[in-house]
Each structure stands twice: as C-alpha cells, then as structure tokens.
DNA sequence: TTAAAGGTATACCGATCTGTTTCCTTTGTC
DNA sequence: GACAAAGGAAACAGATCGGTATACCTTTAA
C-alpha cells in the first residue's frame, strides 16, 4: 500500500478538474491521464463516473468545512469574533488562485434533477456550513441562533455569487459589513 | 413570414431546455425535435451551438429584467416600496413551477472560462439588475444609492442560492426582512 | 412559368463520451 | 519461490455529440 492510495490520487485530480472545468466537461480519460492511473484502476475503485462525482463532492465538503472551521478558529478566539472571522476566511477563499465559485452551487447547476444524489449532497453541505455558524451563534449567546446563522449564511452565498458571477471584488467586505449589523441586533 | 419566426421557435425551446436540463446536457438534436424544425434550419439561423446559447441568454436577460421591472412597478408605487417589492417578485419567481435557479449562475457554473462570452454576458446581466435597483434607490433619495443597490442585490443572490441549492423555502422572506434594515439605514 | 429561397428529412462525418475487455507486468505475502 | 491481487496499456463497444451534405418539397415573387 503506497503512502497515497490510487483512490486518493483519482479523487485529488477529480477535485481539481471538476472544480476548474465542470463535471460534464471533464471526461474520465482526462482524469486518469492527470492522475497517472489506468482506466481499469478508476473503474476498480468507482462503479461509474457518477459515483466518482459523488465521492469527489464528499471529499470537497470535508476539506472545505475543515478549512473553514480551522481558519475561523485560528483568526479569532471568541464566538462573536469568530462569526465575523468567517467572512475573512471566505474573503481569502475568493482570492485564491483558481477560485471558481462554490463547487456545490456549480454541481446544482449541472445536475438540475432535485432527486439527484449530487443535489441532495449539495443541500446537505449547505446545511452543515449553516450548522457550524449556528453553533458559533449559540456560543455567542444569540437569542435566536438559528435565525442569525441563516442570515449570515445568506450573506455568504450572496457574496459568492456577486464575486464569481458578478465579478464584484468588494462583495466579501460588503457582506462582512452587513453581517456586523445583524450581529449587533442579535447580540447587542 | 409566419407570426412566430423559426428563429424565435428555436430560442423559445432552447430557453426551456437549457434552463431545465443545463447547457451541456441539452443537445441540438433535442432542441430541434422539441422546436419542430430541422437541423439545417437551426444552423441557418445560428452558426454554432455556442451562438445559440448566447442568443438564448440574451433573450433570458431581456425577459427576466422586463418581468422584474414590470412586476415591481405593478406591486408598488413609490421608489422605497418598490425596493422592497423586488423581493416579492423574486419570491414569486422561486415558487414558479419549474424554478431551476438563476440561469446566469447556472451558465457561469457550466462555462468556467472567465473569457467565455457566456460569462461576460452573465456578469452583464447581474450588473443590469443591480443598475435597476440603483435607479430605484436614487429615486428613493438614498445618499449612497450604489452601495444600497449592491447590498440589496447581494441579498437577492443569497436568497436564490439558499432556495435553490440549500432548499430553504424561507430565504426569500428572510432576505426581504434583512433588506428592510438596510432601507431603514439608508433612507431613515 | 419558372427560378430562387427556405424548409424538411435523413444520412453521414469525425470526434468524444462512458464503460468493458484483453493481455501483460508489477507487487506484496505466505 | 509461488501465487494472488492490483495495476498498466490499449483496443474495443455502443452511444451521442456538434456539424455538414444531399435530395426533395413548398412557398413566393418576378
């Protein structure tokens, strides 16, 4: 067993290619070439491309939320400060080289069927991010942490779209300033 | 010349199919079958599928913004009320049968290349919607109508994503409530 | 009457797609 | 050293993709 399994190699390249070029536009041939594995190996680890897409989205969810939580907790120490620090983490994400929007918003666009496992997983990802914000809101003592979390989450989604589709670089800062108002309303 | 030209027939079906199933997932064969025209006719009116996609997005922008402005002005009479009515129009859009998110967000997901004409057109669409809101903000007497418009626009984008990807039906109402705060701050 | 224009229907092209199969080599383990 | 599992390379299958070409039909206008 090598240090990095073939399965991880495949998912790692699929993550990059699906994110940069889209799901339908990225063929399995491209993935195996970039990952340096044979087609047989890919289909030995995944029953179909759809299953690879799902595994890739699950990995993305794990990486994204782990990074969000780690960075948020690194940048600020109190729950209230962390609710604002989330926007700094998001802002840094926007400025990463190769930023290509939210992979789950992109997935929802490419898999319009509501019953598609990708759509279900995307909704789940959004819920889990919102759950983390709600935890912070609870710790900060918000009287309605769920509503505050949904408000801040909506601001994040708006910032993503305004940045990626609208090409407005000021969106992350704007969302943070808007968030301050709701933090003040909910926490005094 | 028929009442409805072949070109319009094609664009009309392309609008429906691209929106419901995505751009890459919709082949030209499907479009001509549904539109009831031959492939030669399609390629007589459009040089390529890419050009058809562009023409379809242009039509969508026209229809969407015309409807937004018409409905907003029908629902409310003063500029300030109209800034809020925009959220009612958006809410009604979310509840339409066949709602499948924002076609321009979806297009940005399927055409990740920043230089792609579809991306440029999508950014332009977002700018034009924001421009309309800014006009209303100006008429309402906001001291910084541009900033207010960008704030409200960000709330709309957030509501779209939370509704479509996050499957949260309360997002439109939430965005409207959030908008009231910024209206109050900007207009007293 | 006739010729041009624009339409339909259909066959076809080369490329690309997901997925399978075959044959051979490597690798780890008992 | 023997053997089983995994992987690599490449051909292949069947379908679909965007786009072109051919042949025939219908309308229209000079």
Tell me the CATH class for B57-187: mainly alpha
The confidence score (pLDDT) of residue A170 equals 98
pLDDT value of residue A2: 54
User: Measured in angstroms, what separates residue A52's CA from nucleotide C30's C1'?
Assistant: 34
CB pairs < 8 Å spanning A and B: 145
Tell me how far CA of residue B134 lies from CA of A6, B105, B153, B160, in angstroms: 53, 21, 9, 19
Q: How far is CA A95 from CA A66, A104, A154, A158, B81, in A?
A: 18, 18, 20, 16, 36
Q: CB-based contacts of A124: which residues, under 8 Å, 6+ apart?
A: A61
Q: Which residue of A has its CA nearest to B104?
A: A165
Output the CA–CA distances (angstroms, integers) from residue A27 to A33, A109, B16, in the order listed.
10, 18, 26
Q: Please name the member of A101, A107, A178 whose beta carbon is closest to the beta carbon of B108.
A: A101
For residues A124 and B166, the answer to whether their CB atoms sit within 8 Å is no
**Burial classification of residue A62, based on how many CB atoms lie within 10 Å of its CB (0-12 exposed, 13-18 middle, 19 or more buried):** exposed
CATH code of the domain occupying B1-46? 1.10.10.60
Structure confidence by residue, pLDDT tens digits, A165-182? 999 999 999 999 999 999
pLDDT recorded at residue B188: 84
Q: What is the pLDDT of residues B122-176, one digit of tens each?
A: 999 999 999 999 999 999 999 999 999 999 999 999 999 999 999 999 999 999 9
* CA–CA separation, B88 and B98 (whole Å): 18
Contact A92, B4 (CB under 8 A): no
For A103-145, the pLDDT digits (tens) are: 999 999 999 999 999 999 999 999 999 999 999 999 999 999 9
Distance B52 CA to C7 C1' (A): 19
Q: What pLDDT digit, counting tens, does each position of A25-78 carry?
A: 999 999 999 999 999 999 999 999 999 999 999 999 999 999 999 999 999 999
Q: Any residues with CB less than 8 A from the CB of A76 and at least 6 apart, and which? A: A82, A84, A85
Euclidean distance between CA atoms A72 and B60, whole angstroms? 39
Q: Which residues of B touch A112 (CB under 8 A)?
A: 20-22, 100-101
Domains of chain B by residue range: 1-46, 57-187
Looking at the complex, report in whole angstroms how far the Cα of residue B151 sits from the nearest Cα belonging to chain A.
7
Nearest nt to the A1 alpha carbon by C1'? C28
Give chain A positions within 8 Å (CB) of B21: 112
Can you point out the beta strands (E) in chain A? none
By residue count, chain A amounts to 188
State residue B4's pLDDT score: 72
The dotted CATH code for A56-187 is: 1.10.357.10
Quick one: angle between helices A49-75 and A117-139, nearest 10? 10
What is the DSSP secondary structure assignment for residue A169, as one 8-state letter? T
Share of chain B above pLDDT 70, in %: 98
Which band of pLDDT confidence, cut at 50, 70 and 90, is reported for residue B1? very low
pLDDT number for residue B133: 98
């Amino acid at each position: 067993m090598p240090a990095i399994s073939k399965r991880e190699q495949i998912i790692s390249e699929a993550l990059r290619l699906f994110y940069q070029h889209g799901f339908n536009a990225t063929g399995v041939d491209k993935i195996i070439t970039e990952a340096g594995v044979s087609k047989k190996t890919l289909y030995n680890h995944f029953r179909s491309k759809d299953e690879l897409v799902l595994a890739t989205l699950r990995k993305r969810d794990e990486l994204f939320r782990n990074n969000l939580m780690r960075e948020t907790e690194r940048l600020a120490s109190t729950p209230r400060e962390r609710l604002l620090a989330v926007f700094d983490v998001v802002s840094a994400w926007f400025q990463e080289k190769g930023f290509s929007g939210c992979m789950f918003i992109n997935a929802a666009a490419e898999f319009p069927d509501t019953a598609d496992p990708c759509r279900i997983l995307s909704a789940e990802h959004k819920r889990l991010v919102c759950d983390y914000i709600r935890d912070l809101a609870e710790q900060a003592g918000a009287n309605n942490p769920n509503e505050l979390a949904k408000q801040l989450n909506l601001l994040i989604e708006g910032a993503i779209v305004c940045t990626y589709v609208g090409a407005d670089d000021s969106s992350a800062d704007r969302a943070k300033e808007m968030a301050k108002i709701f933090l003040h309303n909910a926490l005094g």
